[in-house]
Chain A
Amino acid sequence: MEHSVCAIELQGITKRFGEVVANDGIDLKLNRGEILSLLGENGSGKTTLMNMLSGIYFPDEGQIFVNGEPVSIRSPKDAFAYGIGMIHQHYKLVDVFTAAENIVLGLEEPGKLDIKAAEAKVRDICQRYGFDIDPGQKIYDMSVSQKQTVEIVKVLYRGAEILILDEPTAVLTPQETDKLFDVLRAMKADGKAIVIITHKLHEVMALSDKVAVLRKGKYIGTVNTSETNPQALTDMMVGHAVTLNIDRPQYDKPVERLTVKGLTVLDGEGVKKLDGVSFTAMGGEILGVAGIAGSGQKELLEAISGLCPVAAGEIAYTPEGREPSNLVGKTPMQIKKAGVAMAFVPEDRLGMGLVGSMGMTGNMMLRSWKKGPGVFLNRKDPNELALRVWKELEVVTPSTDFPVRRMSGGNVQKVLVGREIASAPSVLMTAYAVRGLDINTSYTIYNLLTEQKMKGVAVIYVGEDLDVLLELCDRILVLCGGQVSGVVDARSATKEQIGLLMTRLGGKEAEA
Chain B
Amino acid sequence: MSNFLSLFLALIIAAITYGTPLLFGTLGEILTEKSGNLNLGVEGIMFMGGALGLGGVFYYEKAGGASGFAAVGIGILCAFLAGALASLIFSFLTITLRANQNVTGLALSIFGTGVGQFVGEFMRVRENGYISIGNHLKGFFQNSPFPGFLQKIPVVGGVLFGNSVFFYLGLILAVGMFVFLNRTRAGLYLRSVGESPATADAAGIPVERYKYLATVIGGGVSAVGGMVYIMTIAGCVWNHEGLSGVGWLAVALVIFCMWRPLAAIWGSVLFGALMILYLRLVLPFVPTQLYKILPYVVTVIVLIVSSMRNNKEKQPPASLGLAYFREDR
Classify A-B as touching or not with yes or no (CB < 8 A): yes
A244 beta carbon closer than 8 Å to chain B: no
For A359, the chain B residues whose CB sits under 8 A away are none
For B206, the chain A residues whose CB sits under 8 A away are 75, 77
Name the distance in Å between A57's Cβ and chain B's nearest Cβ: 6
Name the distance in Å between A142's Cβ and chain B's nearest Cβ: 12
Name the distance in Å between A480's Cβ and chain B's nearest Cβ: 31
A271 beta carbon closer than 8 Å to chain B: no
B121 beta carbon closer than 8 Å to chain A: no
How far does the alpha carbon of A133 sit from the alpha carbon of B329 in the complex, in Å? 32
Name the distance in Å between B61's Cβ and chain A's nearest Cβ: 43
Given contacts A56-B326, A57-B327, A106-B204, contact A93 B188 (CB under 8 A): no
Q: Mark B305-317, 1 if CB is under 8 A from A, else 0.
A: 0000000110100
Contact between B203 and A76, CB atoms less than 8 A apart: yes
How far does the alpha carbon of A112 sit from the alpha carbon of B326 in the complex, in Å? 29
A80 beta carbon closer than 8 Å to chain B: yes
Given contacts A92-B196, A96-B195, contact A106 B203 (CB under 8 A): yes
How far does the alpha carbon of A86 sit from the alpha carbon of B199 in the complex, in Å? 12
How far does the alpha carbon of A56 sit from the alpha carbon of B200 in the complex, in Å? 12
Contact between B199 and A94, CB atoms less than 8 A apart: yes
User: Within residues 185 to 200 of chain B, which ones have a CB less than 8 A from any CB in chain A?
Assistant: 185, 188-189, 191-192, 195-196, 198-200
Q: Mark A103-117, 1 if CB is under 8 A from B, else 0.
A: 011110100110000
How far does the alpha carbon of A79 sit from the alpha carbon of B201 in the complex, in Å? 12
Closest chain B residue, CB of each to CB of A93: B199
Contact between B183 and A96, CB atoms less than 8 A apart: no
Closest chain B residue, CB of each to CB of A113: B185
Contact between A92 and B199, CB atoms less than 8 A apart: yes
How far does the alpha carbon of A77 sit from the alpha carbon of B313 in the complex, in Å? 28
For B185, the chain A residues whose CB sits under 8 A away are 104, 107, 109, 112-113
Contact of A76 among B189, B204, B312, B318 (CB under 8 A): B204
B5 beta carbon closer than 8 Å to chain A: no
A88 beta carbon closer than 8 Å to chain B: yes
For A97, the chain B residues whose CB sits under 8 A away are 188, 191-192, 195
Contact of A77 among B195, B204, B318 (CB under 8 A): B204
Contact between A106 and B198, CB atoms less than 8 A apart: no
Given contacts A56-B326, A105-B205, A106-B204, contact A96 B312 (CB under 8 A): yes
Max chain B C-beta neighbours (<10 A), residue from A78, A88, A96, A102: A96
Q: Mark B262-274, 1 if CB is under 8 A from A, else 0.
A: 0000000000000
User: Within residues 37 to 59 of chain A, which ones have a CB less than 8 A from any CB in chain B?
Assistant: 54-57
Name the distance in Å between B143's Cβ and chain A's nearest Cβ: 38
How far does the alpha carbon of A102 sit from the alpha carbon of B195 in the complex, in Å? 12
Given contacts A104-B188, A106-B189, contact A92 B202 (CB under 8 A): yes
Q: Mark A131-154, 1 if CB is under 8 A from B, else 0.
A: 000000010100000000000000
Name the distance in Å between A111's Cβ and chain B's nearest Cβ: 9
For B100, the chain A residues whose CB sits under 8 A away are none
For B289, the chain A residues whose CB sits under 8 A away are none
For B315, the chain A residues whose CB sits under 8 A away are 96
A95 beta carbon closer than 8 Å to chain B: yes
A17 beta carbon closer than 8 Å to chain B: yes
Total count of chain A residues near the partner, CB < 8 A: 30
For B318, the chain A residues whose CB sits under 8 A away are 95-96
B6 beta carbon closer than 8 Å to chain A: no
User: Within residues 49 to 76 of chain A, which ones have a CB less than 8 A from any CB in chain B?
Assistant: 54-57, 75-76
Contact between A92 and B183, CB atoms less than 8 A apart: no
How far does the alpha carbon of A106 sit from the alpha carbon of B202 in the complex, in Å? 9
User: Within residues 144 to 201 of chain B, which ones have a CB less than 8 A from any CB in chain A?
Assistant: 183-185, 188-189, 191-192, 195-196, 198-201
Contact between B327 and A76, CB atoms less than 8 A apart: no
Contact between A88 and B202, CB atoms less than 8 A apart: yes
Given contacts A92-B199, A97-B195, A113-B185, contact A80 B204 (CB under 8 A): yes
Contact between B312 and A105, CB atoms less than 8 A apart: no
For B204, the chain A residues whose CB sits under 8 A away are 55, 75-80, 106
Contact between B188 and A101, CB atoms less than 8 A apart: yes
Contact of B199 among A77, A78, A105 (CB under 8 A): A105
For B192, the chain A residues whose CB sits under 8 A away are 94, 97, 105
Contact between B184 and A105, CB atoms less than 8 A apart: no
How far does the alpha carbon of A167 sit from the alpha carbon of B329 in the complex, in Å? 19
Name the distance in Å between B185's Cβ and chain A's nearest Cβ: 4
How far does the alpha carbon of A55 sit from the alpha carbon of B195 in the complex, in Å? 21
Contact between B312 and A138, CB atoms less than 8 A apart: yes
Contact between B313 and A96, CB atoms less than 8 A apart: yes
Name the distance in Å between A13's Cβ and chain B's nearest Cβ: 16
Contact between B327 and A105, CB atoms less than 8 A apart: no
How far does the alpha carbon of A78 sit from the alpha carbon of B202 in the complex, in Å? 11
Given contacts A75-B204, A106-B205, A113-B183, contact A92 B198 (CB under 8 A): yes
How far does the alpha carbon of A112 sit from the alpha carbon of B188 in the complex, in Å? 12
Name the distance in Å between A473's Cβ and chain B's nearest Cβ: 33
Given contacts A77-B204, A106-B204, contact A94 B184 (CB under 8 A): no
Contact between B201 and A113, CB atoms less than 8 A apart: no
User: Within residues 22 to 55 of chain B, which ones have a CB less than 8 A from any CB in chain A?
Assistant: none
How far does the alpha carbon of A467 sit from the alpha carbon of B202 in the complex, in Å? 37
For B196, the chain A residues whose CB sits under 8 A away are 92-95
Contact between B195 and A94, CB atoms less than 8 A apart: yes
Name the distance in Å between B311's Cβ and chain A's nearest Cβ: 10
Name the distance in Å between A154's Cβ and chain B's nearest Cβ: 8
For A79, the chain B residues whose CB sits under 8 A away are 204
For A92, the chain B residues whose CB sits under 8 A away are 196, 198-199, 202-203
How far does the alpha carbon of A369 sit from the alpha carbon of B200 in the complex, in Å? 42
Name the distance in Å between B164's Cβ and chain A's nearest Cβ: 33
For A56, the chain B residues whose CB sits under 8 A away are 201-202, 326-327
Contact between B200 and A105, CB atoms less than 8 A apart: yes
How far does the alpha carbon of A106 sit from the alpha carbon of B199 in the complex, in Å? 10
How far does the alpha carbon of A372 sit from the alpha carbon of B313 in the complex, in Å? 48
How far does the alpha carbon of A76 sit from the alpha carbon of B202 in the complex, in Å? 5
Name the distance in Å between A197's Cβ and chain B's nearest Cβ: 16
For B195, the chain A residues whose CB sits under 8 A away are 94-97
Closest chain A residue, CB of each to CB of B185: A113
For B327, the chain A residues whose CB sits under 8 A away are 17, 56-57
For B198, the chain A residues whose CB sits under 8 A away are 92
List 6 A-B residue pairs with CB atoms under 8 Å apart, sorted by A's residue number.
A17-B329, A54-B202, A94-B195, A96-B195, A97-B188, A112-B185
Beyond A56-B202, A96-B313, 15 extra complex contacts between A and B, CB < 8 Å: A55-B204, A56-B201, A77-B204, A92-B199, A94-B191, A94-B199, A95-B196, A95-B312, A97-B188, A102-B199, A106-B189, A106-B200, A107-B185, A112-B184, A112-B185
B residues touching A (Cβ–Cβ < 8 Å)? 183-185, 188-189, 191-192, 195-196, 198-206, 312-313, 315, 318, 326-327, 329
